[in-house]
Chains A and B, each alone.
Chain A
Amino acid sequence: MTKMSHAEALVTAIIDSMAQDERVYLFGRPLGLGPQRALMSRLTDRFDERVFDPPTCEAGNAAVGVGAAMAGLRPFVDLSTGSFSFLAFSQIINEAAVSNYMSAGKLPAPVTFHCLEGARGGGAPQHSQNIHGFIWNTAGLEILAPSNPGDMYGLVRAALASNNPTFIMNHAKLMALEGDVADDRKPIPIGKADIKRRGKDVTIVAISLMVHDAMAAAETLAREGVDVEVLDPRTLAPLDEDSILASVARTGRLVVVDETNMQGSVASGIAGMVAERGFQSLKAPVQRVARPDTPVPFSAPMEAFLLPTAAKIADAVRRTLPKA
């Protein structure tokens, strides 16, 4: 195991993929504006001729990546702040996601998109959007949401090796997080959930940054004698429905956590899936924890009021338990 930050795992995975596959190119600077941005030099020092700085143009940047992927390359396209990727949606949804389908498999578009999404703290409405719910409604994309450096490394490697268009939903608040990356440096199979904490009483399915709040809630609940299982889907599409259903079959109780606002959220989608396929397992109604259907305001107390927290998740878990 090697300790590294989420940002370092991302950079290391891109470097390893570039070293292994000369078709991999990087458009943009995926490390954001925080102190992790200094890690960019590791990439440019080694692969300067394959790192391109596009103008400020999300649609054009995405389009060049998609077109280059159709023409045989493996571009990694950074769309910077998730909120800005709306400008590139036609390229992602109308071009990349449908190319393999409408060519009957003759023209896959193996481009990888990346953005720093979510409420980053003081982002105000136009720099705080979660976009994974929107993108999740697209058929033909593999959507990855690594919650820790180990998953980040393995999923980025998998994305750049995939023959499909992929989208790495990275949460802005995760970049400084430290964690272990396995020394075998292997890709993580796309479509495989990971159980971050074993438990027998209640299943929490949490996405991306929310995994950490779910883990904190589980600690609190453990002190109350409630044994919580935390399941991280890791990839939103394809979704590992079987692992979620198996966990719910063991615990009989489900809480789904997603930072996105409730309407059209992944929390809602997973709750619906379990209601349909796992209803017999459920001993209590499924609880969803997500942001209210409200834009994210600038001022800190208002922002905090809207976002899911460990305390809100713990409350949701308690609502699934029999009355004492």
Chain B
Amino acid sequence: MTTALPEDRLWHLFEMMLLMRRFEESVVKMNVENHFTGHYHLYIGQEATGAAAIAQLEARDTITATHRNHGHVIARGAEPGPALAEIMGRAGGLSLGRGGTIHLSDPALGFLSTSGVVGGSISLGAGGAFARKMKKDGSVHMACFGDSALEEGVAYEALNISSLWKLPIVLLCENNSADAWDKSRGGYTSLVHAANDLRSIPGAMGIPSIRIDGTEVDEVHAAVAEAIAHCRSGKGPMFIEAMTRRWAGSAPLWPELSTGVTDLKMATGEAPMSGEHKAWYEENDPVLKLARRLLKTSPQAKDRMWELDRKAIARMQAAEKFAIDSPMPAPQTALEHVFA
């Protein structure tokens, strides 16, 4: 049984998860209001994993993410304004509008290039971990990726190298295949792998592999703490399969928030949970889950929760204004930065 995290830690994670959630609600809002076009992939439903995992990295550690990266970038401390502006293709974006949602990255925070090619987080991450190992200072690399990354050949090659060379890489697989809308509902196929258990793939290469509930911050925290310690002590990679339930949220497949803007009254009991997503609100939404838990801690918890939510919403309103006010890049800047 995992030890429960102290209350102040839970509040801290809750604050971050709320910001991650409100950030992505802003992404959808900006898209629906035609402030930008193009596709994006939402992280909603996976916040407990990203927040609890990334909070444990130190400044010297590096990280790679995927096309579904908004949560990781915010969790690592990127400013929501420039992050949102990047998604909207603005000159004020983190990469001056050259990467967009797919390649959201903040190298100043230890992000390597965010690859939009599935498997890229693991493969570039092995390189990041190689650099960390050569530093000989106990720093680590965290590769965040989805279950489909393990369908790619390069992931297999990178896992092999990581294990052979004992690279300090935390392999954080966010398995979001459960409940994702499949082809029958107009979506993509979810996980397509002959291995019944994804842990068996790194496991075959001698990489310690565990599975956790990725919607429970204590479980994520404990597993990642163990993996980071394992890597820092020079024992090589460790693999964590965090089971999450992402709800539909990828434009253009699902251009609006199908479960609506998150209403914390669903945690306080002041708003009903019904309809097609009832079970998700009740059991899977990590923000609501943690809110319910925190509400039980003290009579003042409710006020504190609303205060944090007001803060997150205000921050995102400012971020939206920053992004909308940010000009589009001058067309001829497309010619810049081809070479360093």
B335 to chain A, nearest CB (A): 10
- B123 in contact with A68 (CB, 8 Å): no
Q: Which residues of A contact B154 (CB under 8 A)?
A: 59-60, 63, 90-91
A71 adjacent to B62 (CB under 8 Å): yes
Say whether B123 contacts A59, CB under 8 Å.
yes
**Are A102 and B339 in contact, with the CB atoms below 8 A?**
no
Count residues on chain B whose CB falls below 8 Å from chain A CBs.
41
| A 51-72 to B, binary, CB cutoff 8 A, 1 in contact else 0 | 0101101011101111111111
Given A67-B131, A68-B130, residue A106 in contact with residue B108 (CB < 8 A): yes
Residues of A within 8 A of B156 (CB): 60
Which residue of A70, A98, A139, A140 is within 8 Å of B127 (Cβ)?
Answer: A70
Among A67, A106, A163, contact of B125 (Cβ-Cβ < 8 Å): A67
Partner of A25, one of B99, B115, B134, B160: B134
A108 beta carbon closer than 8 Å to chain B? yes
| Cβ-based interface call for B161 (8 A) | yes
Determine how close the nearest CB of chain B comes to the CB of A137; give it in whole angstroms.
14
A66 touching B127, Cβ below 8 Å = yes
* Least CB separation from B159: chain A residue: A60
B interface majority secondary structure = helix
Shortest beta-carbon distance from A98 to chain B in Å: 8
A112 close to B (CB within 8 Å): no
Is the Cβ of B127 less than 8 Å from the Cβ of A108?
no
B153 and A94 contact, CB distance less than 8 A: no
- A105 located at the interface, meaning its Cβ lies under 8 Å from any Cβ of chain B in the complex: yes
Q: Find out whether the CB atom of A100 lies under 8 angstroms from the CB atom of B95.
A: no
- Find residues 71-113 in chain A having any chain B CB closer than 8 Å to their own CB: 71-73, 75, 90-91, 94-95, 98-110
CB distance from A171 to the nearest CB of B (A): 25
Interface check A164, CB cutoff 8 A: yes
**What are some 22 contacts across the A-B interface (CB < 8 A)?**
A59-B123, A60-B156, A60-B160, A67-B127, A67-B130, A70-B113, A71-B112, A72-B131, A91-B123, A95-B115, A100-B337, A100-B338, A101-B338, A102-B113, A103-B98, A103-B103, A103-B105, A104-B95, A105-B336, A107-B105, A163-B339, A163-B340
Question: What is A's interface to B at a CB cutoff of 8 Å?
Answer: 25, 52, 54-55, 57, 59-61, 63-73, 75, 90-91, 94-95, 98-110, 139-140, 142, 163-164
A-B contact sample (7 more), CB < 8 A, given A59-B154, A63-B124, A104-B98: A64-B161, A67-B128, A71-B130, A95-B117, A103-B103, A106-B95, A106-B108
